[in-house]
Structure 1
Amino acid sequence: MTPSFSSCDLCDAHKNAAPEVFRVLPPVFKDFAARRAFCGPVVTVKCYEDNTLVKAAVESCGYEDTAAGRIAKVLVVDGAGSLRRALLGGNLGAAAAKNGWAGLVIDGCVRDVGELAPLDLGIRALASMPLPTDRQKQGLKDVPVQLQGVWVNPGEWLYADADGMVVSATRLV
Structure 2
Amino acid sequence: MNFATTDICDANEDLITLGVLRVVAPLFKSYGGLDKFQGSAVTLKVFEDNTWVRTLLDEPGQGRVLVIDGGGSLRCALVGGNLGVLAEKNGWAGILVNGCVRDTQELQGSKVGIRALAAHPQKSVKRNIGERDLIIDMAGTVVKPGDRIYADEDGILVSDKALI
Q: CA deviation at 1:8?
A: 0.3
Residue 14 of structure 2 aligns to a residue whose secondary structure is: coil
| TM-score relative to the length of structure 2 | 0.97
1:4-62 CA-partner distances (Å, limit 9, x unpaired): 1110011112223211x110001110010110000000001000101111110111100
1:86-108 CA-partner distances (Å, limit 9, x unpaired): 00011111100110100000000
1:142-153 equivalent positions in 2, closer than 5 A: 142-153=133-144
Q: State how far apart, in whole Å, the 1-side matches of 2:73 and 2:14 are.
A: 32
The CA RMSD measured in Å over matched residues stands at 0.7
Q: State how far apart, in whole Å, the 1-side matches of 2:11 and 2:105 are.
A: 37
Aligned residues: 162
1:56-135 equivalent positions in 2, closer than 5 A: 56-63=55-62, 72-135=63-126
Residue 166 of structure 1 aligns to a residue whose secondary structure is: strand
1:112-155 CA-partner distances (Å, limit 9, x unpaired): 11111111010000000011111101110000111111110000
Q: State how far apart, in whole Å, the 1-side matches of 2:33 and 2:84 are.
A: 11
**Identity score, percent:** 45
Partner residue, 1:40: 39
| TM-score relative to the length of structure 1 | 0.92
Q: State how far apart, in whole Å, the 2-side matches of 1:15 and 1:82 are.
A: 32
> Gaps spanning 5+ residues in structure 2: where?
none
Partner residue, 2:48: 49
> Gaps spanning 5+ residues in structure 1: where?
64-71
Residue 43 of structure 2 aligns to a residue whose secondary structure is: strand
